[in-house]
Amino acid sequence: MIVSVCERKSFLQRPDQSKKGVMQYMVANADYCFIVTSLNEDYSFNRMARYVSVALQGGATPVVILTKSDLCSNVGRFVREAESLSEKVHVHAISAILDIGLDELDAYMTPGTTICLIGSSGVGKSTLINSICKEEIMKTSEIREDDGEGRHTTTYRKLIELPNGVTIIDTPGMREIGMANVQEGIDDTFSDILELESRCKFSNCRHDTEPGCAVKAAIESGELSVERYTLYKNLGRENSNNHARKKEVSKWAKAYKKMNKRNMSDL
């Protein structure tokens, strides 16, 4: 029985890889989105930028959790790099196995808060949840030895209500996180670049050959790295390509509907 329908305050979605132009809903009403990535082969700055953009677009606060710090000899470098992604992002390095850094996460555990965990398979989402709950609620399993990939142990979303009033949502490991309908989230993640663009002499500056270009000046002075700017552009391009594809699909859907109507009236 549906008792009431509450207003949705956040909503994370990504493009469905198997159906072009269709969005797949991941989770709703999360206050914090724990973006879980392990400090081994899984670590990817590009992927992190994607997750952060999706979280910001959806209205959840992105928190990057770098897991398996016990397997990494240079944790500080990765923390600094993750922090450099966006001023909107919080970063914590933890080891669930050795109980390192878990106390830093207490700050998010306030009654009434909802936290979702997303990331690739095998990064330790369910292990972290078990550590937070101090109980084996979720099944976990070893990553594959040959390529370090996870085994997709969690196959459904699970909402866990803790006695302290916190709700945690575990999700199945994701293979890919594409960009679609997420331009605001990308802009939010790379707000420093937007700020630079606003300082260009011409409002329609393409940051190419125009004089008074603040983006080019920042790249030349080392304030902005080419890699960061390229990543911003590439994510934006992918997003608009997917949008275009969506439009194309709806164009065909409309034509199909029209054709069906005509056929019906012929009967």
Ligand X SMILES: Nc1nc2c(ncn2[C@@H]2O[C@H](COP(=O)(O)OP(=O)(O)OP(=O)(O)O)[C@@H](O)[C@H]2O)c(=O)[nH]1
**Contacting residues toward ligand X, per CB under 6 A:** 67-68, 70-71, 95-97, 121-127, 140-143, 150-154, 172-173
Residue 195 interacting partner from Mg ion, ligand X, none (CB closer than 5 to 8 Å by kind): none
Residue 95 interacting partner from Mg ion, ligand X, none (CB closer than 5 to 8 Å by kind): ligand X
Q: What angle do CA 87, 241, 252 make, to 5 degrees?
A: 140
CB 85 within 8 A of CB 37: no
Q: How far apart are CA 179 and CA 13, in angstroms?
A: 10
Q: Which residue's CB is nearer to Mg ion, number 14 or number 125? A: 125
Q: How far apart are CA 107 and CA 109, in angstroms?
A: 6
154 forms part of the interface with Mg ion (CB under 5 A): yes
- The candidate with the shortest Cα–Cα distance to 42, out of 66, 64, 73, 19, is 66
Residues 91-130 interacting with Mg ion (rule: CB under 5 A): 125-126
Smallest distance from ligand X to CB 73, Å: 13
Q: Which amino acid is at 194?
A: L
Smallest distance from ligand X to CB 131, Å: 8
CB 145 within 8 A of CB 138: no
Q: Which residue's CB is nearer to ligand X, number 138 or number 215? A: 138
Residue 96 interacting partner from Mg ion, ligand X, none (CB closer than 5 to 8 Å by kind): ligand X
Q: Which residue's CB is nearer to Mg ion, number 127 or number 242? A: 127
Q: Which residue's CB is nearer to Mg ion, number 36 or number 205? A: 36
- The candidate with the shortest Cα–Cα distance to 127, out of 136, 115, 119, 114, is 136
Q: Which residue is nearest to ligand X (CB)?
A: 173
